[in-house]
Amino acid sequence: MSTLSFLKAIVIVSSLTEQQRGNPLAPLLERDVHLFDLDNTLYSPENAILEQIAPRMRRFISNELGISIEESNLLCESYYQQYGGTIRGIQLHYPSVDLKKFSDFSHQVNLDKVKKATMLKDALRAFKKSRYVFTNSPLAYATRVLKHIDLYDCFDGIFSVELTGYRMKPDPHAFNTICQHFGFKASDAAFYDDQVSNISTAKALGMRTILVNRSDVNQHDACYKTEDLPSFVASLTK
């Protein structure tokens, strides 16, 4: 593990044994299942894919509900804060809205400037643990993005928002459902995500947690923190 990679991985070691302190990554290597968020985790936030999705969501809601863009902005933001995603709020408060139509329209993004994740691909292929994508995004979009960045074949499965019934992260239901779906316990898993609220739920359920690509966040309860996921994953194989 390079010095740079080590410095980018902030480790909470207070509960580790003396043997584990010799290798701060040992608690992760004890976990046989590794769950990776998609957006802004498997690719850099600099790609600004989510910045394309948000305006499309707001436009759809504005047209569908007959409200102004400003009102739609407020509604989408409040649902995101309350439920972890706008689509969950729409499901609960406007059940007549076609969620598939909403999701398909919102996720029609341009990926032309998004580069392949070559270094992360190499690291994931060398990492001999079970790996799943755990995303609040729909399956069609997740599949398209993973294929575009050349990571589709690096995972054993994709757990998309449809499989949660739109009770998405950070709701514990989403975490419990993925465990049931793929047949493992939370205590078997490590979880990589860019959202502090998702990290908190995962940790409370017994997962080891890694906060990814959040140089702007200092206050968190993640077990580890990195702004360089390819190097971090690669360090797990050394």
SS3 of 11, please?
A: coil
Angle at 13 between CA 11 and CA 16, to 5 degrees: 135
Q: Are residues 59 and 23 in the same domain?
A: no
**Same structural domain, 224 and 140:** yes
CA separation (Å) from 38 to 13, 18, 225? 27, 34, 16
Note the pLDDT tens digit of each residue in 50-99: 999 999 999 999 999 999 999 999 999 999 889 988 999 999 999 999 99
What value does the mean pLDDT of the chain take? Answer: 91
The DSSP H or E segment spanning 78 is: helix 69-83
Q: If you ran DSSP here, which 8-state letter would residue 38 be given?
A: -
**Does residue 163 sit in the same domain as residue 192?**
yes
Place of tokens 């991985």: 9
In this structure, the answer to whether residues 224 and 151 fall within a common structural domain is yes
Residue 147 has φ and ψ, to the nearest 5°, of -70, -40
Percent share of the chain, pLDDT over 90: 86
The pLDDT tens digits for 93-148 are: 999 999 999 999 999 999 999 999 999 999 999 999 999 999 999 999 999 999 99
135 touches 43 (CB < 8 A) = no
Inform me whether the pLDDT recorded for 14 exceeds 50.
no
- The whole-number pLDDT of residue 29 equals 94
Same domain, 147 and 69: no
pLDDT at residue 84, rounded to an integer: 86
Q: Which of 106, 131, 149 is the last residue of a domain?
A: 106
How confident is the model over 207-218, as pLDDT tens digits? 999 999 999 999
Same domain, 204 and 129: yes
pLDDT confidence of 238, banded at 50, 70, 90? Answer: confident
Same domain (yes/no): 17, 79 = no
CATH code where residue 88 lies: 1.10.150.450
Q: Clarify whether residues 84 and 15 are in a common domain.
A: no
* 9 and 82 share one domain: no
Shared domain for 56 and 41, answered yes or no, is no
pLDDT score recorded for residue 15: 45
Residues 126 and 181 both lie in one domain: yes
The more confident residue out of 4 and 92 is 92
Q: What is the DSSP letter of 86?
A: H
Q: Do 100 and 139 reside in the same domain of the chain?
A: no
Of 65, 80, 106, which one is at a domain's C-terminal end? 106
Cβ pair 168, 11 in contact under 8 A: no
Dihedral sign (CA 138, 142, 145, 148) = negative
pLDDT of residue 19: 41
Q: Are 37 and 192 in contact (CB under 8 A)?
A: yes
Q: Is the peptide bond before 55 cis (omega within 30 degrees of 0)?
A: no
Residues forming beta bridges with residue 36, ordered by sequence position: 133, 192
| CB distance 39 to 117 below 8 Å | no
Q: What is the Cα–Cα distance from 19 to 212, expressed in whole angstroms?
A: 26
**170 cis-preceded (ω within 30 degrees of 0):** yes
Could you tell me the pLDDT band of residue 22, with boundaries at 50, 70 and 90?
Answer: low
User: Could you tell me which residues are beta bridge partners of residue 211?
Assistant: 193, 225
pLDDT in tens, 170-193: 999 999 999 999 999 999 999 999
pLDDT band at 23 (very low <50, low <70, confident <90, very high): confident
Phi-psi region of 37 (alpha: psi -120 to 50; beta: other; left: phi over 0): beta
For the domain that residue 213 is a member of, what is the CATH number? 3.40.50.1000
Choose among 197, 177, 195: nearest CA to 186.
177
What pLDDT score does 13 carry?
A: 39
Range of the domain at 57: 50-106
Domain endpoint, select from 87, 106, 125: 106
Q: Both tokens of residue 99?
A: 């969620």
Domains of the chain: total: 2
pLDDT at 9 over 60: no
